[in-house]
Amino acid sequence: MSAPMTNSSQDIQIYEIKRMDLKGSTIINGFPGVGLVSSIVANYLVNTLNLEQIGLMDSTLFPTVSLIRKSEPHHPVRIYAGTTPGKPADNIVVFISEFQPPQSIVKPIAETLIDWAQDQWCSLIMCPEGLVIEKEEGAQPEDEKSVRVYGVGSTHRAREYIIEPNVLPFSEGVITGVAGILLNEGKRRNFDVISLLAEAQQDYPDARAAAKIIEIIDRLMLHTRLDAKPLYREAERIEAQIRAVQSKAVVDSKTQNQFSGMYG
Amino acid sequence: MSAPMTNSSQDIQIYEIKRMDLKGSTIINGFPGVGLVSSIVANYLVNTLNLEQIGLMDSTLFPTVSLIRKSEPHHPVRIYAGTTPGKPADNIVVFISEFQPPQSIVKPIAETLIDWAQDQWCSLIMCPEGLVIEKEEGAQPEDEKSVRVYGVGSTHRAREYIIEPNVLPFSEGVITGVAGILLNEGKRRNFDVISLLAEAQQDYPDARAAAKIIEIIDRLMLHTRLDAKPLYREAERIEAQIRAVQSKAVVDSKTQNQFSGMYG
Amino acid sequence: MSAPMTNSSQDIQIYEIKRMDLKGSTIINGFPGVGLVSSIVANYLVNTLNLEQIGLMDSTLFPTVSLIRKSEPHHPVRIYAGTTPGKPADNIVVFISEFQPPQSIVKPIAETLIDWAQDQWCSLIMCPEGLVIEKEEGAQPEDEKSVRVYGVGSTHRAREYIIEPNVLPFSEGVITGVAGILLNEGKRRNFDVISLLAEAQQDYPDARAAAKIIEIIDRLMLHTRLDAKPLYREAERIEAQIRAVQSKAVVDSKTQNQFSGMYG
Amino acid sequence: MSAPMTNSSQDIQIYEIKRMDLKGSTIINGFPGVGLVSSIVANYLVNTLNLEQIGLMDSTLFPTVSLIRKSEPHHPVRIYAGTTPGKPADNIVVFISEFQPPQSIVKPIAETLIDWAQDQWCSLIMCPEGLVIEKEEGAQPEDEKSVRVYGVGSTHRAREYIIEPNVLPFSEGVITGVAGILLNEGKRRNFDVISLLAEAQQDYPDARAAAKIIEIIDRLMLHTRLDAKPLYREAERIEAQIRAVQSKAVVDSKTQNQFSGMYG
Amino acid sequence: MSAPMTNSSQDIQIYEIKRMDLKGSTIINGFPGVGLVSSIVANYLVNTLNLEQIGLMDSTLFPTVSLIRKSEPHHPVRIYAGTTPGKPADNIVVFISEFQPPQSIVKPIAETLIDWAQDQWCSLIMCPEGLVIEKEEGAQPEDEKSVRVYGVGSTHRAREYIIEPNVLPFSEGVITGVAGILLNEGKRRNFDVISLLAEAQQDYPDARAAAKIIEIIDRLMLHTRLDAKPLYREAERIEAQIRAVQSKAVVDSKTQNQFSGMYG
């Protein structure tokens, strides 16, 4: 482990594109983790609920890339928000990130996110995560029913009212990345942060695990009574799209570096 | 990906050599990208329109090199400007860079460029780019007619008035480097940034793709009714010159490092 | 040895969760060292004395991880405190760290710890450590009686009243890491710092060495007359738990890095 | 090309040892380049004209070495000055550097040098350089007459009065290192900087190329009518001395690093 | 040579433990160099003259280690002082370092040392050094008489009164490390710095070379008429001790790094 750099949260900025009253709203953290479960969930919610981009997170330390979608350029980290049919009084906010932040900026990102959540008087940060499970060799592929979902909360309040009545408790383990720091900071600040962890494959985007978490989020917060079948198909479509961006990114990355040594 | 450095845009300076009223002018971004399309376009415009050097961009982080052209030393990043025969009221501004900036300074460069564009009341930044296409093996070499050009714009305004009536929309994809950041920043600041992407070979300077973009720029902005043939010949001449600088640079780079370990 | 970074103690913060009068209390340093002796001792004391978390140490330079224990998230470095049955007037404070800090932040951590100890009017910092012993090949496994414990103190006072009457003097040698810096700083500031060093295996967590130090800490400070047998069993249970976190951490660490090169 | 560091010119200092009026004087840049031509020229002038050390350039970033010459310690970068027999009214200033600066500090060095030149009201900076020529295999060794010398100037003034009447113009090419930055900065500041480039071998110190440049400097500035023969012998003696320092430096460098990993 | 960091002398601090009037005293630089000659000399003088620790040098950049000697913890860089039997009016000051500083902090260390020497009105800094000699193969082991000692001084004063009457002049060569910077800085500041260089083996601690320098220091400054025999035996004892610390340090260093990758 080489000497790490100091990256304060001053290196990360949030820019608002459209002002919206977010008091009491829930934030979904879509920074990628195990099985890209968080990314699939976040994209699904943005698409299904027709959420609108209200801001973006940026930093000199983020990748130098523009993502073109529907003929418009997009920053790699974006903030979407909107209402849900089942609970029109409350807003839902979704952070989408097209890249997994390197270790050195995970803390500044998480701290900027929770600072902003508190500034906006949001009431909850929800982190969908995959939980690696080791399978016996030769085991049969499991059906969706068998995907278990665990939960952990940063506060007594979150554990008592959200985790315990709804999912299995995640009692012992380790959560890394943005979600891990959000949980720690939520505990320190007495701010509600929840992570839902669905059993997932760590080696590829896992649409089934994501769909399982979407069902629970719907039941807990959205009350939209999503039909299960399209949910799984949509989750699979997003999985495919994410794979495509990844392979594209690799090609472009090669291209980019081709001449960079010119006088270097 | 190792821990990145913080390079603020304060590390990049623009020095004016000659003051000129640039209100309403278009900036052509010549920082090199895929197929060096942007470099060929930028050099072509400087040569053909007899543009004059009005400034330079410099940084401690730029290569330590002087380029001698017509017996005069030149900085590696220069700013040229002048009028065009077809539209004498408006100026055109061209950024030429002799090197592809490393990842870590792409953002500061793009932000300094767009800051300056806004300070000068320019109206548009145009980014010529190559778009990598994968060919089937054994495919016949294509003639110039077959080079397709796509476009993407940072604002609704740019998309409606410039992209849609003139080129194919670039609806889904990834744009890296200075052009990508200019598009993102243009969107955030509501400043018109356009990227024209011509199908190009990523492995060597592609004069044909550049010529195709020059034709469109001429039609859209310059109205000089350039003759196609010399355009292609000139583009090829520039391609050859850029290749020469590259191989030269590699030799000098070796020379430079020869004694640097003396007491190191 | 590459050029080291400057990490001032400003990069390390201590956050209080619960205010407690710590005047005159003893601090146990649980940052991991040889044989994880310090970690086992620190965890044993927290568990056995039912100490309460009163704060945490944090830094942008710490690992980006949340440890879930009993369904609650925990920071990787925590501060516990409470009274002991045998000496209810005085508090005992324990620092627990789930990771061994890299070389570059050992000094800032130790300086922040001793600054805080002086701010809180604590009277002593105790560092349990393992001491590597080289065994002859084919030697019989030693019984617990044969584990020798050495001691070293930062001040004349500490050596005369605590080390000399109770343990063998550690007269010549080298102590690295947080404990080493605490001893040096204690000497410079005339603050009592003691290190107890039990002969230990360097290659794996050594519960027996830890138990031996716990006995001495109990005799010197706690006066709880701990029963030896459960002590050894408990120490072994903690050893097993630490091993589990380590292997888990390795798995998660791999997972985390999987997509980090996306556009990197 | 890894992320470069920011090294401002504040990292480089010039210390005066003896104050001298340098108004109107010419500075010879002796930072090493191709064929060590600049080093040989600079040392020759210091020796032949009996120049006196008037200052030094220093930086935390320079090698940690003292050069002992005639029983006196010397900094690796020194400034010499004095008058010439042929032009006693004007001073000549020579920068000698015993090492080739790494890429990252070339700009700060050049900027500090030209800042100082302007502060002292010097009138010209002269950069002797080698120009790599590719020979056909089996070609006969060339005699000294055949070494061509080219020139390039930072200003119209320098090109018209110094370059054009005396040497071949260097019309197209690339100049790297301190000389390249001096030319660029001279152009931007409208300060006269000249580089004389003699055809040279890039793989070893080239005394013959240096001698050719010395002849031109003598003719243009010194008017001392140097005898050619001793000039070439002296240039060869310096070439030998520089080789000796280099091999010595390599040995000492090894020695220095021997124990640096002790606790590292 | 990779881009070096900027380490100002602000990163290095000297802490006084005991105040003593050091006006006119001589400082012995014990930072390790070729053959560890400086270390052996420095340790010998501390032991033989019963010098007392009066301070220490510290930095975040120094190794994180405590050296236990006679049951007391010690910083890796310490300052000792005291009087000598032969010259009781003047104090002698010795810097002892247990590690060879990496290249990047050699300058800050040397500058902090000489700043402090001037602040304390010391009159001379003496640097004992080894000088690598290349032996013919099969040459007989030389007896102690044959070890030649050379000297170099930073000022005319030092050369005339100390070097020339007593040792061979070191007229041409290179001195690296702390001693080299002290000589350069002494010249620039007109402060007397002397280096005595004894022919030494570069591959291992060379007690004989050290003893030869101690004889000269005794004759020049201490006037204690040291008996030669115990001097050589003592020098050999110190050589052995230094070897022991080195191998110990390697072991501890390995131990230290064992768990540092836990979540890294």
Sequence-distant (≥ 6) Cβ neighbours of residue A31 within 8 angstroms: A38, A95, A97, A100, A101, A109, A177, A178, A179
- From chain B, pick out residues whose CB is under 8 angstroms from the CB of A11: 6
Token pair in block for residue D106: 């070339």
Distance of CA A10 to the CA centre of its chain: 22
Which chain B residues touch C260 with a CB distance below 8 Å? Answer: 1
All chains having 3 or more CB pairs closer than 8 angstroms to chain E: A, B, C, D
Q: Which residues of chain E have pLDDT under 70?
A: 1-10, 134-145, 203, 226-228, 245-264
Chain E partners within 8 Å of A176 (Cβ): 263
Say yes or no for a CB contact (<8 Å) between E3 and D104. yes
> Which of A27-36, D119-128, E127-136 has the least mean pLDDT?
E127-136
Using DSSP, state whether B53 is helix, strand or coil. Answer: strand
Average pLDDT for residues D103-126, to the nearest whole number? 95
Poorest-confidence range of A186-190, B77-81, C44-48?
C44-48
More confident residue, B7 or B230: B230
D132 vs D36: CA distance, rounded Å: 12
Residue B21, both tokens: 């009223």
Q: Which residues pair with C28 in a beta bridge?
A: C94, C126
What is the Cα–Cα distance from B103 to A99, expressed in whole angstroms? 15
What are the strands, taking DSSP E only, across A109-172? 124-132, 149-153, 168-169
Identify the closest residue of chain A to B131 by CA–CA distance.
A252
Of the residues D64, D258, D263, the best mutation for testing chain C's interface (the one with the most C CB atoms within 10 Å of its CB) is: D263
Q: Among candidates C64, C261, C100, which has minimal Cα distance to A7? A: C64
For residue range B75-105, what is the model confidence (pLDDT) as tens digits? 999 999 998 877 777 799 999 999 999 988 9
Hey, what are A139's tokens? 């085991």
User: How many Cα atoms sit within 13 Å of E43 on the Cβ side?
Assistant: 23
Instruction: Kindly compute the dihedral angle of the four CA atoms of residues C82, C84, C85, C90, in this order, to the nearest 10 degrees.
Output: -100
**Going by DSSP bridges, is the β-strand pair A77-84/E77-84 parallel, antiparallel, or unpaired?**
unpaired
pLDDT (mean) for B35-42: 90
Using DSSP, state whether E119 is helix, strand or coil: helix
* Nearest CB neighbour to B260, from listed E1, E174, E176: E1
Contact across the interface for C2 and A6, Cβ inside 8 Å? no
Rounded mean pLDDT, C52-68: 95
Contact E66 C32 (CB under 8 A): no
How much is the pLDDT for D8? 54
Taking Cα atoms as reference points, which of D27, D25, D6 lies closest to residue D113? D27
Chain B neighbours (≥3 Cβ pairs under 8 A) are: A, C, D, E
Q: How many CB atoms lie within 10 A of CB E130?
A: 25
Question: A58-68: buried (b, 16+ CB within 10 Å) or exposed (e) per residue?
Answer: bbbbbbbbbbb
Q: Inspect the interface and report whether the beta carbons of A261 and D1 lie closer than 8 Å.
A: yes
Minimum CA–CA partner of C102 in chain D: D264
pLDDT of E195 reads 96
E145, burial (CB in 10 Å: exposed 0-12, middle 13-18, buried 19+): exposed
Question: Is D179–B7 a contact, with Cβ atoms under 8 angstroms apart?
Answer: no
Q: Quote the tokens at residue A154.
A: 């940063």
End-to-end CA distance of chain A: 27
Report pLDDT for C245: 65
Quick one: which of B170, B172, B147 has its CA closest to B159?
B170
Of C114, E262, E187, A104, which is closest to residue B1 (Cα–Cα)? A104
Cβ contacts (< 8 Å) between C100 and chain E: which residues? 256, 258-260, 262
Q: In what order do the strands lie in the sheet with A173-176?
A: A173-176, C65-69, C72-74
Strand partners, E94: E28, E80
Q: Under an 8 Å CB criterion, which residues of A touch E? A: 1, 176
Size of interface D-E (CB pairs under 8 A): 137
Q: Mean pLDDT, to the nearest integer, of C47-68?
A: 94
Provide, rounded to the nearest whole percent, the portion of chain B with pLDDT above 90. Answer: 56
Q: Is the dihedral of CA C155, C156, C158, C163 positive or negative?
A: positive
With CB atoms and an 8 Å threshold, state whether D172 touches B245: no
Q: Which H helix or E strand runs over D78?
A: strand D77-84
CA nearest neighbour of C83 among C221, C219, C195: C221
Chain E residue closest to A176 (CA)?
Answer: E263
What's the average model confidence in pLDDT over B116-128? Answer: 96
Which residues from chain B sit within 8 angstroms of residue D32, using beta carbons? 259
Helices (H), A49-189: 103-119, 156-158, 164-166, 177-189
Phi, psi of B247 (to 5 degrees): -70, -35
Spell out which residues of chain C touch residue A5, defining contact as CB-CB under 8 Å.
5
CA of B1, closest CA in chain C: separation in Å?
6
Lowest mean pLDDT of A77-81, C31-35, D54-58, E192-196, name the range: C31-35
Query: E176 to chain B: nearest residue by CA?
Result: B263
Instruction: Note whether A260 contacts D176, CB cutoff 8 Å.
Output: no
What pLDDT shows up at residue C85? 76
- What type of residue sits at position E247? S
**What mean pLDDT value characterizes chain C?**
83
Q: Which of E98, E132, E187 sits opposite D255 (nearest CB)?
A: E132
Encoded tokens for C125: 């910092």
Packing angle, helices D228-257 and D207-217, rounded to 10: 130
Question: What one-letter code names the amino acid at D9?
Answer: S
Pairing of β E149-153 and β E77-84: unpaired
Query: In angstroms, what separates the C-alpha of E257 from chain A's closest C-alpha?
Result: 9
Rounded to whole angstroms, the Cα distance separating D38 from D31 reads: 6
For residue range A205-218, what is the model confidence (pLDDT) as tens digits? Answer: 788 889 899 999 98
Q: Which residues pair with E195 in a beta bridge?
A: E127, E152
CA distance A149 to A242: 23
Q: In E25-96, which ranges are continuous DSSP H helix?
A: 37-48
Give the DSSP H/E element, type plus range, for residue B56.
Answer: strand B52-59
Helix axes B37-48, B228-257, angle to 10 degrees: 120
Beta-carbon separation of D259 and E100 below 8 A: yes
Measured CA to CA, the distance from residue C14 to residue E125 in angstroms comes to: 43
**Of A6, A175, A249, Cβ closest to residue C66:** A175
**List of chain A residues whose C-beta atoms are within 8 Å of the C-beta of residue D1:** 260-261, 264
Prediction ipTM score: 0.85
Pick from B73, B102, B104: which is nearest to D152 by CB?
B73
Q: Does E148 or D241 have the greater pLDDT score?
A: E148
At D179 the pLDDT is 97
Say which amino acid occupies E84. T
Indicate the helix (H) or strand (E) that contains C239. helix C228-257
Stretch A156-169: mean pLDDT, rounded?
90
Contact between E224 and E218 (Cβ < 8 Å):
yes
Going by C-alpha positions, the residue among C21, E252, C206, C132 that lies closest to residue C214 is: C206
The average pLDDT across D150-178 equals 92
Residue A134's Cα: distance from chain center in Å?
23
In this complex, the chains that touch D, judged by 3 or more CB pairs closer than 8 A, are A, B, C, E
Q: Are strands A87-97 and D65-69 parallel, antiparallel or unpaired?
A: unpaired
Q: How confident is the model at residue C77 (pLDDT cuts 50, 70, 90)?
A: very high
Nearest partner of B177 among B108, B240, B226, B79, judged by Cα: B108
Which residues of chain C make contact with E74, given a CB cutoff of 8 A? Answer: 184, 187
User: D175–B60: do the CB atoms touch at under 8 Å?
Assistant: no
Q: Is the pLDDT of residue D89 over 90?
A: no
Please give the model's pTM, rounded to 2 decimal places.
0.87
* Alpha-carbon distances, residue B21 vs B6, B54, B78, B158, D162 (angstroms): 34, 11, 17, 23, 35
C183 contacts in E (CB within 8 Å)? Answer: 66, 73
A8 compared with A90, residue with greater pLDDT? A90
**Which value, to the nearest 10 degrees, does the dihedral of the CA atoms of residues E5, E7, E8, E11 take?**
150
The chains in contact with chain C, meaning 3 or more Cβ pairs closer than 8 Å, are A, B, D, E
| Residue (of A139, A136, A120) closest to A79 by Cα position | A120
Cβ neighbours of C17 in A, within 8 Å: 188
Q: For residue D69, give how far its alpha carbon lies from the nearest alpha carbon of chain E (Å).
A: 5
In angstroms, what separates the C-alpha of C246 from chain E's closest C-alpha? 6
Cβ contact, residue pair A252, C258, below 8 Å: no
Give the integer Cα–Cα distance in Å for C217 and C156. Answer: 20
Give the nearest chain E residue to D98 (CA atoms). Answer: E174
**A238-252, B200-214, D232-246, E94-108: least confidently modelled range:** A238-252
Chain CA centroid to CA C28, Å: 6
CB atoms within 10 A of CB B19: 8
